[in-house]
Amino acid sequence: MASELFNIEGDIAIVTGGSRGLGKAMAVGLAKVGAKVVIADIIDSSDTVDEIKKEGHHVLGIKVDVSNVEDVDNMIEKTIENFGNIDILINNAGILRTGKAEELSLEDWNKVIQVNLTGQFICAQTVAKHMLKRGKGNIINISSIAGIRGYAGSAVYSAAKAGLIMMTKTFAAEWGHTLRVNAVCPGVFATDMTDDFLKDKEFMQKLKQKVPMGRHATADELIGTIIYLASKASSYVNGYELVIDGGWSSTL
């Protein structure tokens, strides 16, 4: 029974920003349980593609700027051409810009919003058109606890991630008759993006004090959540933001 609930074998999953970090962990994790994976990233994804292929899994790498409509259209076309359809979109691509709010440049603001919010909208909208025609589909937007709690130095990143949560809820309200759209809000995970933070002794001391579990997460600790949301096990979960942060956001 349990294996049937969590079975996504043969499903076609697009993972944006899938060449490294959390995106790579999710892409590899989905492939290991039998999904056919498309890694869509603006940077070279060949290493991750090769790693998945060596394990005998189905994978395709596509260079995509998620904020570019033509690139996203091409991603859809190539996915359908190679695998026939799209069952799952992991809307993960994102960038980080930090700094004091009063010193944040408009260029940084626009860039983060363009990738982390507009890009996620373009991908979800474009994929949803295909899914709605098929009569089924599953979109998982990767937000952050920075989208539900204020954190000094992350004004634009937090704004984009908060916007993504509300966009998720609105999509679920509009498309819920056919699709499921949920958001995942990770806390601090060890990735290339967080490497500088994890090397900062002051940050690590604060993290140990704030997070009830007393540590950061590894990228692999996100995989189970993604499989749950992508599978029948979460068949009545829609428009929800699932927080995975070791308990950080539950504390005062």
Query: What are the pLDDT digits (tens) for 5-27?
Result: 999 999 999 999 999 999 999 99
Tell me the domains of the chain and their CATH numbers.
2-242 (3.40.50.720)
Any idea which of 30-39, 125-134, 148-157 has the lowest mean pLDDT?
148-157
Residue 87: its pLDDT value, please? 98
| pTM, 2 dp | 0.94
pLDDT tens digits, 43-90: 999 999 999 999 999 999 999 999 999 999 999 999 999 999 999 999
Per-residue pLDDT at 152: 85
196 has a pLDDT exceeding 60: yes
Per-residue pLDDT, averaged over 32-46, amounts to 96
Give me the active site residues, please. 157
Q: What is the DSSP string of the chain?
A: -HHHHT--TT-EEEEETTTSHHHHHHHHHHHHTT-EEEEEESS--HHHHHHHHHTT--EEEEE--TT-HHHHHHHHHHHHHHHS---EEEE---------GGG--HHHHHHHHIIIIIHHHHHHHHHHHHHHHHT--EEEEE--GGGTS--TT-HHHHHHHHHHHHHHHHHHHHHTTT-EEEEEEE--B-STTTHHHHT-HHHHHHHHHHSTT-SPBPGGGGHHHHHHHHSGGGTT--S-EEEESTTGGG--
For residue 200, pLDDT over 90 is answered with no
190 or 54: whose pLDDT is higher? 54
CA distance 226 to 27: 10
Q: How confident is the model at residue 186 (pLDDT cuts 50, 70, 90)?
A: very high
Mean pLDDT of the region 184-197 = 86
3-7, 95-99, 117-121: which is most confident? 117-121
Q: Looking at the predicted structure, is the pLDDT value of residue 1 above 60?
A: no
Task: Give yes or no for residue 251 having a pLDDT over 60.
Answer: yes
pLDDT band at 252 (very low <50, low <70, confident <90, very high): low
pLDDT value at residue 75? 97
